[in-house]
């Protein structure tokens, strides 16, 4: 039996043997299950947005490759327009990469919380 559950059991026994202990343990288990469920929902949410961001990043990377190829053969105003578009795409790519890293960090944090909740059960 995990240490935290033993403490809860001792506390429940101290409340009396009239069934209060079982209620306390049930409420603790219910809260842990609810936290686990909420953490899973958050993880699913992060996964969904991570997939969307990754798709967007892949699309922008493809556009960057296309622009790089066009830049090699462009001249004058066309080259300036392509350079401006490339700079805009690079900025967007960096922003989305930062968002992706933040999502990954938040997901890891949620998974650690879930792990600590599971360990407390």
User: pTM higher than 0.75, yes or no?
Assistant: no
Please tell me what DSSP assigns to residue 36: H
Q: Compute the mean pLDDT over every residue in the chain, rounded to the nearest whole number.
A: 79
> In this structure, is residue 107 part of a structural domain?
yes
Other CB atoms within 10 A of residue 7 CB: 10
> In this structure, is residue 106 part of a structural domain?
yes
Encode pLDDT of 15-66 as tens digits.
655 555 567 677 777 877 887 888 788 888 888 888 898 899 899 899 888 8
> In this structure, is residue 39 part of a structural domain?
yes
The number of folded domains in the chain is: 1
> In this structure, is residue 121 part of a structural domain?
no
């Amino acid at each position: 039996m995990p240490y935290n559950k033993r403490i809860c059991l001792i506390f429940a026994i101290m409340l009396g043997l009239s069934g209060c202990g079982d209620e306390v343990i049930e409420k603790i288990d219910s809260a842990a299950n609810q936290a686990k469920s909420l953490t899973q929902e958050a993880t699913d949410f992060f996964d969904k947005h991570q997939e969307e961001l990754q798709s967007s990043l892949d699309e922008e990377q493809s556009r960057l490759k296309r622009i790089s190829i066009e830049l090699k053969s462009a001249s004058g105003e066309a080259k300036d327009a392509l350079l401006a578009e490339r700079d805009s795409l690079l900025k967007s790519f960096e922003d989305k990469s930062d968002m992706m890293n933040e999502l990954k960090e938040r997901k890891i944090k949620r998974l650690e919380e879930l792990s600590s909740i599971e360990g407390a059960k």
